Amino acid sequence: MQGIIIKNISNKYTVIAEENKYICEARGKFRHTKDTPLVGDKVEFDEKTNIIKEIYPRINKFDRPPVANIYATIIVASLKKPDLDLYLLDKMLTTINNKCLKVIIMFTKIDLCNEDEIKQAKNLKKYYESLNYSVYFNNDAKAISTIKKELRNKVVTLVGQSGAGKSTFLNKLSPSLNIDTHPISDALNRGVHTTRHTEIYDIEGIYFVDTPGFSALELNMNQEELKASFPEFNNYLNKCKYKDCNHDKEEDCIIKQMVKEKKILESRYNNYLSFKKEIYESSRKLFR
């Protein structure tokens, strides 16, 4: 039988298959291959002995939290309360990089914006869409139904600052859920996250990974990977004076030129420079 692992507590795997749950174990061959099953894995198991026999090839694998096959990440970013933080948004995009097949940006609280801010938000939507991300506003009912259709039967994760509107979004997907939502002040006062096990919840046929660990944003990459995580740079591959241009202090850099011409968003470029510095500094720490 085929199923998806939705929970792992002390190597007792809860597998969901045709709406039923089975508590399975992995024995024998997985001990030798080091390749132990992960939450998110699609597996073949014996429904009589409850033994996992096979792990299907993964589309990706994350270490913290340990989870596999995340098809999409939904980034919830509020425009107000808390104010839009483009550094954080770009950092999340870079961290996710190309690991997921799909990235969705969900802007919230446009109802709290003034006219100028709405205009700016719409321009941002267009820009990020040009980078091949799906971008929606959370008050768009059509967006909710599109997302429901697109993510059906997929493993999905939801990230974003505390107070951004993640719980509110889940309630919109499935009104019967009734998850607690908190104004920011409350959210901040709820204390530190306690570590929990990773678990997947089926919400309207979408498998949401509940992942406290995903809030730790580490730029675990080298400078080349950083560059590659900015899709807008790829449009100008090899057009700088130096083939391995870092688009920083170099002269005749097409990327800097495009920022001047407003073809590349200045905030994106500045965030790129910040990430570049952060990666450089953490690598220096490593070798000290």
Ligand X SMILES: Nc1nc2c(ncn2[C@@H]2O[C@H](COP(=O)(O)OP(=O)(O)O)[C@@H](O)[C@H]2O)c(=O)[nH]1
Q: Residue with structure tokens 């692992």? A: 5
Q: Which is nearer to Zn ion, 154 or 239 (CB)?
A: 239
Among residues 18, 13, 11, which one has the least CA distance to residue 3?
Answer: 18
Is residue 240 within the footprint of Zn ion (CB under 5 A)? yes
Per partner kind, with CB cut-offs from 5 to 8 A, the member of Zn ion, ligand X, Mg ion, none near residue 253 is Zn ion
Buried b (16+ CB within 10 A) or exposed e, 122-138: eebbebbeebebbbbbb
Which is nearer to Mg ion, 60 or 162 (by Cβ)? 162
**What distance, in Å, lies between the first and last C-alpha atoms of the chain?**
52
The one-letter amino acid at 227: K
CA angle 40, 164, 105 (to 5 degrees): 60
Query: Strands 12-17 and 155-159: what pairing?
Result: unpaired
Where does this chain touch ligand X (CB under 6 A) — which range of 22-30, 52-60, 160-168, 279-287? 160-168
**Min dist. Cβ of residue 246 to Zn ion (A):** 7
Site string for Mg ion, 120-159 (x = CB under 5 A): ----------------------------------------
Binders of Mg ion among 161-200, rule CB under 5 A? Answer: 166-167
Closer by beta carbon to ligand X, 69 or else 198: 198
**Binding residues for Mg ion restricted to 21-40, rule: CB under 5 A:** none
Find the binder of ligand X among 6, 105, 164, 279 (CB under 6 A). Answer: 164
Q: Is 245 in the site for Zn ion (CB under 5 A)?
A: yes
Residue list 35-64, contact with ligand X (CB under 6 A): none
Please report, for the chain, how many H helices and E strands are present, in that order: 10, 13
Place of tokens 């026999």: 53
Strands (E), the chain: 2-9, 12-17, 20-26, 42-46, 51-55, 61-62, 67-68, 72-78, 102-108, 134-137, 155-159, 199-203, 206-210
Question: Of the listed pieces 7-15, 28-36, 177-185, 254-262, which binds ligand X according to CB under 6 A?
Answer: 177-185
CA 28-197-192 angle, 5° bins: 155
Which residues within the stretch 59-118 sit at the binding site for ligand X (CB under 6 A)? 76, 108-109, 111-112
Q: Are 195 and 212 in contact (CB under 8 A)?
A: yes
Stretch in the footprint of ligand X (CB under 6 A) among 119-127, 140-148, 181-189, 264-272:
181-189
247 binds Zn ion (CB under 5 A): yes
- Of 55-63, 85-93, 165-173, 215-223, the segment contacting ligand X by CB under 6 A is 165-173
Cβ pair 70, 62 in contact under 8 A: yes
Distance of alpha carbon 37 from alpha carbon 29, whole angstroms: 11
Q: Name which of 110 and 159 has its Cβ closer to Mg ion.
A: 159
Decide: is 160 part of the binding site for ligand X (CB under 6 A). Answer: yes
Q: Which residues of this chain interact with Zn ion, rule CB under 5 A? A: 240, 245, 247, 253, 255
Q: Which residues of this chain interact with ligand X, rule CB under 6 A? A: 76, 108-109, 111-112, 138-139, 160, 162-168, 181-183, 187
Q: Which residues of this chain interact with Mg ion, rule CB under 5 A? A: 166-167
